[in-house]
Amino acid sequence: EVSEMSERSKQNVAHGLAWSYYIGYLKIVLPRVKKSMEEFSKANPNLLVCRKTWKLHILVPLSCDVYDDLEKADSNIQYVTDLTETMLARAGTKRRVYKHSLYSVRDEENQLWHCAVEYATPLQSLYAMSQDECAAFSREERLEQAKLFYRTLEEILKGSKECADAYRLIAYEEPEEAETHFLSREIAWHLWQEHHEEVAVLEGSHPHTPSMALDSAELNLQISVSDLPQTLCTDGF
């Protein structure tokens, strides 16, 4: 009965996608991100000067609108290079390649920031399901699924020791009227905040957090805790 209720409300979709994304991808790549960033920084000391940005920045657009080419999404975001590849044997595939791309992000003051950034790929599945008659996802349901995906992924990663301080989730709602450089501004703000977190630690002060931040508390799912699917016990998480 509980399973049928979950099926009807589609709560299990985003929950399952978040766990699959973590187990099948993030848990593999995130523990290796800092090493890749450190290797790149040694060869390019002027690009990654802030260690707090040595992490994977994961874009979570609540619209589920994912671009395959970030440069086309925003001209202030430019591809620089790929970080060191990780090759593993996975599910029968020999030498499967995992890699991240480094981008330069130009802010409103014409300052360049550099970071590894990519979209949360499961959002493409949510978007595709909303376009497929068999899935019968409305736009409103897709939004709720995107919020639930973010909240679930956030909780999973908070409990992961391997992934600690190796990621930053950037959840955002795109403005109703198209803005040419909305995405670069959003990423640059997070990089600015990380930079000031590092400065604050070095100086022993507390960073100021601008009120524009979109955190999980603002992502009101309108779903009670008791209605949420229960976490699967996998690898101790």
- The full DSSP string for 151-193 is HHHHHHHHT-STTTTSEEEEEE---SS--TTHHHHHHHHHHHH
DSSP 231: P
Summarize pLDDT for 18-57 with one digit per residue, the tens.
999 999 999 999 999 999 999 999 888 888 878 889 999 9
Whole-number pLDDT of residue 204: 57
Residue type (1 letter), 25: Y
Summarize pLDDT for 121-164 with one digit per residue, the tens.
999 988 888 877 666 677 888 899 999 999 999 999 999 999 99
Q: Would you say residue 5 has pLDDT above 60?
A: no
Place of tokens 């640059």: 188
Helix (H, G, I), strand (E, B) or coil at 37: helix
Place of tokens 């399901």: 129
Do the Cβ atoms of 55 and 116 come closer than 8 Å?
yes
Summarize pLDDT for 158-208 with one digit per residue, the tens.
999 999 999 999 999 988 887 889 999 999 999 999 988 876 655 555 444
Q: How far apart are CA 96 and CA 90, in angstroms?
A: 6
Closest CA to 157 of 15, 30, 62: 30
Residue type (1 letter), 214: L
Q: Give the model's confidence band at 112: pLDDT under 50 very low, under 70 low, under 90 confident, else very high.
A: very high
Summarize pLDDT for 64-76 with one digit per residue, the tens.
999 999 999 999 9
Q: How far apart are CA 82 and CA 90, in angstroms?
A: 21
Q: Using alpha carbons only, what angle is made at residue 117 by residues 82 and 16, rounded to the nearest 5 degrees? A: 115
Do the Cβ atoms of 28 and 170 come closer than 8 Å?
no
How many residues are recorded in the chain?
Answer: 237
Whole-number pLDDT of residue 221: 46
H-run or E-run covering 58: strand 56-61
Q: Give the model's confidence band at 6: pLDDT under 50 very low, under 70 low, under 90 confident, else very high.
A: very low
Average pLDDT over residues 216-236: 43
Closest CA to 131 of 142, 115, 119: 142
Do the Cβ atoms of 88 and 96 come closer than 8 Å?
yes
Q: Which domains does the chain have, with CATH numbers?
A: 28-203 (3.40.50.12100)
Whole-number pLDDT of residue 10: 53
| pTM (predicted TM-score) | 0.81
